[in-house]
Each structure stands twice: as structure tokens, then as C-alpha cells.
Structure 1
Amino acid sequence: MIWSMVTELSQVFISILKDVAPIVVVLLGFQLGILRRKLPHLRKVLFGLFYVVVGLTFFLFGLERALFPLGREMARQLTDPAFIGGGPGVVPGWADYYWTYLFAFAIGFATTIAEPSLIAVAIKAQDVSGGSVGAFGLRVAVAVGVALSLSVGTFRIVSGTPLYVYMIVGYAIVVVQTMFAPRMIVPLAYDSGGVTTSTVTVPLVAALGLGLASNVPGRSALLDGFGLIALASLFPMITVMGYAQIGTWLEKRRQKPIPTTSTPEGGP
């Protein structure tokens, strides 16, 4: 058991070295060949590169050993006919999977709040905007978007409806919101859709989608299991721009002067 884990870990390490090698070659090529300057802080760079390789190795090893199996197992249990109440020969309807939708919402919110790339973007946005964009408020808005996307995505898998319908409607909403949302929030909203699909969120989302499609009757893991990540990139744009629009509307209401009644001249 231990020897097999060590063998698998070494294979992942070698694979990561092969993946990182082109990046190192490009950086060194430009630094030494184009800029013609020595690499500053060489020791720190080498230590950092070593930490990156080791960290990615353990991260990918953990995905294969824990997160992917966990996502598949949760999907299997949540779609088990014995759990959702289906009897022998009875095919459950889409409404019987409400615990699956709730789990997808909860796991989407929780993983996004913990997403390191989102935390970094939110902190930078708060610093650059002088506090007008709150880091925690932005993180919650993005997390709600991802949570909604996973709930809608699991419904799509269960019901078997095509993905393009959701994408077309979603991007139509984004285009309309872009015309009315505050200009300062639009680029940040678009970036928020990208940072959600990162290290913590993607593995669980992919495992959930594939596990769900493998266990729902009549679904194909290849045709129906993918697409959740696309929705997870789309919905945060909607919720972040909606968050800014609601905030702007509330601010205008607070600043709106309260009409005063004046008594006519000569009155009591």
C-alpha cells in the first residue's frame, strides 16, 4: 500500500516536472537571450520553483486520492434510488433530486469562499477601489453565483436539457447587465467569472458533474457530465454586476432628498 502510494507520487512528480519545464525554458530564454541579464535572486527563484513543483505534486495526488473520489461518492449517494425514495422499476423525476440541488448549492458556495485566487482578486479590488468595493461582499457575490450555477447545472444533468440553452440565456443576461451596470464593476465582474474556476472549485465541480451523470439513469458522463465549470464561470458575472447594481440603487435611495411640506404664507 505504502509502496504503491510512493510510486504514484513519484510518477506525478515527474509529470509535473515535464509540465513546468516549458515555463522555465521560456522565462530563462527571455531573461538570458532577449534581456541579456542575469536572473536576480537566483537562490530564491530556485527554492520557489521547487516549492511549486512539490506543492503541485501533492495537490494533484490529493485530487486523485481524495477530492475526485469524494465528489463521485457524494453524487452516487445523493442519486441512490433508496435515498431519493424511488422504488423498484420507478424512474425518479427531476423534482425528486432536491437534495442534490441543495448539496450543489452548498458545496459551490463553500468552495468558492475558500478559493485562493478569488481572495487575492477581492483584496486587490478593495485596495485599488479605495474601499468602495468590499472584499468580503465581492467574495459572497461570486460564491452565490457559483452556488446558483451548480444548482442549475445539476438540474440540467438530471433533466437532460441541452447546455447551450443555459449558456445563450446566461450570456444574454450578461450583455444586458453590462449596458446598465456601473462601469467600474464590469471588468471586475468578468474577471470574477474566471477566478472561480481554479484550484479548489474545479476538482469538486468536475467530480460532482461526472459522478452525477454516471449515476442518473439515461445520462452519459461524456455528454452530460461536463459543462458545470462553464456555468460556474458565467453566473458570477451576473451576480457581481447585480450586487453592484443593487448597491448603486440603495445608495441613490439614501441620497434622495425627502420632500418637505411648507405652510402657505400667512397661515397658522
Structure 2
Amino acid sequence: MNVINKLKETAVSVFPVMVIVLLLGLTVVPLDKYLLIRFVFGGILLILGLTIFLVGIDLGIQPMGERCGAELTRKRSLSLLLICAFVIGFIVTAAEPDIQVFGSQVRGLFSFVNKNVFTFVIAAGVGIFITIGLLRTVLNISIKWVLFILYAILFGVMIFCPQSFIGIAFDSGGATTGPMTVPFIMALGLGVSSVRSDDENSFGLTGICSIGPIMAVLLYSLYLKSQGNFDSSSVVQISETAEAVAAGSPLSQIFGPFEEISGEVLRDSVISIMPLFGLFILFQAFLLKMTARQVAKIVIGFIYSFIGLTVFLIGVHGGFSQVGSELGFALGSKALSNGGIWFVLLIAVGLVFGAVIVCAEPAVWVLSEQVESVSGGTITRKLLLVFLAIGTAIAICLALIRSVAGFDLKWILIPGYGLSMLLMIFCPSMFSGIAFDSGGVASGPLTSTFVLSFTLGAACVGANGNDSFGVIALVAMMPLIAIQIMGIMFKLKQKKGGQK
């Protein structure tokens, strides 16, 4: 484990975003100088936090998940494996900070939604579908058939759901895949498949888990619909941008926001990591029985992960989100009023942000490292990141066009997922699993804050200003297409090499 290399790699991923924002904020769309200074300071915290977090994942979270999956499988008790999987999925998801924030956003738009019930519905969806994913691995059922059937049921249910809840449902699939949940779920799947010595089934668990909250929220919307909700009076109109920069001394304007959110972020980090740590204690006492040295290494990994996640989130929420919203609003305003070159510039900036920011997501780094490791270096991290960046860039472009022009989200989701299902016929199973895992990890905390803020800032001046959901759904969908295209290209290249 080379900490310096991780620091270099994270810096290379984040610096382009900082450079682009500074260039735009100092020239084309001038932004407040204190806002830009906060953005730079937040970027530095983000790089340091991501580096420390990844070191902690390597030391603690990933080894724990793989050991748990392997030991539960060796017990040869399918019921024990599935019960533990449900409990793990439910507890970890219910404690995920992103879900708490997401629930508050939904509650702010629909007054009849109970935030706690909404959270538990999502958590139950993840718990049930993680059991389905592990059952698939144990029984060696094709990942393609499972995904075909589950998405067919999902879109069948969607036909009867309220239009205004479809974006929320698909966004929930991305909101559940947080920085603590994804590494553990992926490691758990790898641990189960390692006992069976089946690399083809190593991936796909996160992709299946992402379907759970979508299905659960759609079913919840049907229940709300049956209760007579979704009348126009119950929907809160949203059309506001980021808060103005607070007045005060220069130092307070720069560091004040970081200080204000540090307590909340610290609490969220504790809530996020404690369920996993509690599960580790239980598994160590009754299942793992590791040596003192192994336990100490994993505990140190948890400490690193906690510190890294806290620093990362302070950097993101304190320095990145507001800049994204202000920049999106400024470019969106010019694009709407002047059109032409400004609209092209808005789309171009969205493409670049989508391509670059996804490479800085913590869970994306974890996935890319695991893919490179399991494939024996055949599928390199750089190749995976390139295709993932292309898919995310196109998703942000579509989200911006929709936010300014305003059209039904289903016109993108149905053809997009239909194409994903079609590509599965020709794509190797392992790549299909990686693709659907990538859809979940691409919509992490950085994408859900900076990119979402940027897109919603543009939406505030467009025809779709009051429809604030669906951006994460598009970000989660496009990698399914991009990575499977990579898999088909890889398959053709192998076939061509074999012929030679």
C-alpha cells in the first residue's frame, strides 16, 4: 500500500475540477472571491480525506467484508447467510448519511411523506435485495437473468406509479450506495464468491442492491397514492439557489462554513461507521475469531476510514456544493436568456464535470481496484475509469438538457435501461456485473453534492425548475451502457487475438 501514490492519484482526479471552476469563476461567470477561496480549501481537504479514506478501506473495511462473506459461506448454512445479509443491508443503509439527507429533501417536496418511514422502506429494499444478490451467487444463477427479471418487474411496477415519484425512486438507488456501504457490500460479495472460486460471479451484488430501494420506493408511492395523496396542493414548489455568502470578517467568510458543518459531518461519520464497526465486533466474537494482530489492523483501518470520511465530507459540503450551485445558476441563466454559445458552454462544462468528478468518488476507486485485482490486471483501473467517465459525462449532459428544456424523465430512463438489457445479451457476464455495480458507485457523495448542485442550479432557471429529482438516476444509468460496451469491445479483442 503506497500512500504517496494514492495521494497523487486523488490529486490528479480533483485538480482538473478545481482548475475549471477557478477559470470560469474568475472570467466568464465571476463568482464571489471568498466563495472561490473556500472552494480551493475544500478541494485540498477533499484530496487529503479521500487519500486517508482509501488507506482505511484497504486496511479495515475490505478485509472485514471479504472475511465475513467467506466465513458465512463456509458455515454452509444458507439461512444464516441470508439473515445476516438482510440485517447488514438494513442497518448499514438506515445509518447512511446520504439517505437521511435524501429523506429530508423528499419530505421538503412532499409534505405527506414520513421521513422515518421513507428511510426504513429504503433500508428494507436494500436488505431484501442483498439477500437476493447473495442467493444468486451461492446458487450460481446467471447475473444476466436475474437483472432481466428484476428490471422487468421494476418497470412493470413503474407504469402504475405517480409520475412525480419516479425520479425520486431511481435517485434512491444511487443515494443508498454511500462511501461506507459500497466497499463493504462489494467485499462481502467477493468473499462469498472466493469460497466458490468463481470470479465471474464476483461482481453484480451492488448493482442488484441498487434495484432494492427503487422497487421499495415505487411500492411506497403506490401505497401513498392509494391513500389519496399526490394532489397539487401537497407538492411544495422548489425554485431557489444556494444561500448567499454570509457577511462578516474575511476569515469568518472563508472558514465559517467549514466550522458550521463540522459538527454535523462528524456526527454523520460516526453514524455511518458505527453500525459496521458494531457488526465487526459481533462477527469477530462469534464468527471470524481473528488474531489480535489482525483485529488491530482492521481497527486501525476503521479509524483511518472515519478520519478520511469526515475530512472528505467537510471539504465537499464546506467548499464544493455552493460553488456548484452558483456556477450552474449563472451559466443556466445566461443559457436561457441568450442561448447559442452559452447553452453550448453549459453543456460542455457539464460534460467535463461529469467525466472528471466521477473519478474522484471514493467508491469508484474501491471498485476499480477490486476489478483490477480480480481480473489479474487484464481490466486495468485506467480503462474502467475512462469508460465510467464517458458514461457519467453523457448522463450529466442529458440531465442539464432536461433541466433547462424540461421533458419527462421516462423518455430517457426507458430507452436507456432497454439498451442496457440488450447489451447484456452480447456482453460477458463479468462485465455486466461490473457495469451494474458501476451504476451504483458512480452516484456517490461528490457527484450527489457538486454535480447535483450544479445541475439543480441550472434547473432553477429552466422549464424544469421544480423537478429536482432524476439527476442521480441518470448518473446511475449511463455506466450500465458504457461499461457493457467496454465488455463487448474486450470480448471482440480477445476473439481477434485468439484467431491470430
Tell me the TM-score normalised to structure 1 length: 0.79
Q: Describe the superposition over 1:177-215 as per-residue Cα deviations: whole angstroms up to 9, x where unpaired.
A: 111122232211111011112212110111011111001
**Structure-1 residue corresponding to 2:65:** 71
Deviates more, 1:47-56 or 1:119-128: 47-56
Selected match of 1:31 from 21, 25, 29: 25
Instruction: Give the conservation status (yes or no) of the 8 Å contact 2:123–2:213.
Output: yes
Question: Cα distance, 1:38 vs. partner?
Answer: 6.1
Give, in whole Å, the separation in 2 of the partners of 1:41 and 1:248: 43
Give, in whole Å, the separation in 2 of the partners of 1:210 and 1:77: 12
Deviates more, 1:144-153 or 1:176-185: 176-185
Instruction: Give the conservation status (yes or no) of the 8 Å contact 1:71–1:204.
Output: yes
| Local SS of the residue matching 1:161 | coil
Q: Percent identity?
A: 27
Q: Describe the superposition over 1:76-129 as per-residue Cα deviations: whole angstroms up to 9, x where unpaired.
A: 21122xx33xxxxxxxxxxx3221111111111111112222221111111122
**Structure-2 residue corresponding to 1:144:** 124
Q: Describe the superposition over 1:145-164 as per-residue Cα deviations: whole angstroms up to 9, x where unpaired.
A: 11111100000100000011
Amino acid at match of 2:178: S
Amino acid at match of 1:187: G
Higher radius of gyration, 1 or 2: 1
- Whether 1:213 and 2:193 are equivalent positions in the alignment is yes
Amino acid at match of 2:11: L
| Local SS of the residue matching 1:13 | helix
Amino acid at match of 1:134: N
**Structure-1 residue corresponding to 2:168:** 188
Question: Cα distance, 1:39 vs. partner?
Answer: 4.0
Higher relative contact order (CA 8 A, sep 6+): 2
Give, in whole Å, the separation in 2 of the partners of 1:171 and 1:137: 24
**Structure-1 residue corresponding to 2:5:** 11
Give, in whole Å, the separation in 1 of the partners of 2:20 and 2:113: 36
Question: Cα distance, 1:36 vs. partner?
Answer: 5.0
| Local SS of the residue matching 2:112 | coil
- Whether 1:55 and 2:49 are equivalent positions in the alignment is yes
| Local SS of the residue matching 1:34 | coil
Selected match of 1:122 from 103, 127, 139: 103
Q: Describe the superposition over 1:202-256 as per-residue Cα deviations: whole angstroms up to 9, x where unpaired.
A: 101110111110012xx413x101001111111211111112222333x25xxxx
Question: Cα distance, 1:15 vs. partner?
Answer: 2.2
- Whether 1:232 and 2:209 are equivalent positions in the alignment is yes
Selected match of 1:132 from 106, 112, 120: 112
Instruction: Give the conservation status (yes or no) of the 8 Å contact 1:150–1:231.
Output: yes
Deviates more, 1:150-159 or 1:32-41: 32-41
Question: Cα distance, 1:133 vs. partner?
Answer: 1.7
Amino acid at match of 2:224: G
Give, in whole Å, the separation in 2 of the partners of 1:115 and 1:9: 27
Change (3 A) 1:239 1:37: closer
Instruction: Give the conservation status (yes or no) of the 8 Å contact 1:170–1:235.
Output: no
Question: Cα distance, 1:37 vs. partner?
Answer: 5.2
**Structure-1 residue corresponding to 2:350:** none
Runs of 5+ consecutive residues of structure 2 not aligned to the other structure: 229-500
Amino acid at match of 1:220: D
Amino acid at match of 1:214: S
Amino acid at match of 1:68: Q
| Local SS of the residue matching 2:177 | coil
Change (3 A) 1:122 1:113: same
Amino acid at match of 2:187: A
Give, in whole Å, the separation in 2 of the partners of 1:46 and 1:34: 18
**Structure-1 residue corresponding to 2:137:** 157
Instruction: Give the conservation status (yes or no) of the 8 Å contact 2:18–2:43.
Output: no
Change (3 A) 1:144 1:231: same
**Structure-2 residue corresponding to 1:104:** 85
| Local SS of the residue matching 1:197 | coil
Tell me the TM-score normalised to structure 2 length: 0.43
Give, in whole Å, the separation in 1 of the partners of 2:161 and 2:104: 21
Give, in whole Å, the separation in 2 of the partners of 1:151 and 1:192: 19
**Structure-1 residue corresponding to 2:430:** none
| Local SS of the residue matching 1:41 | helix
| Local SS of the residue matching 1:79 | helix
Instruction: Give the conservation status (yes or no) of the 8 Å contact 1:114–1:200.
Output: no
Give, in whole Å, the separation in 2 of the partners of 1:42 and 1:24: 9
Give, in whole Å, the separation in 2 of the partners of 1:186 and 1:38: 36
Amino acid at match of 1:240: V
Runs of 5+ consecutive residues of structure 1 not aligned to the other structure: 1-6, 85-95, 253-268
Give, in whole Å, the separation in 1 of the partners of 2:109 and 2:224: 18
**Structure-2 residue corresponding to 1:197:** 177
Question: Cα distance, 1:13 vs. partner?
Answer: 2.3
| Local SS of the residue matching 1:189 | helix
Change (3 A) 1:35 1:42: closer
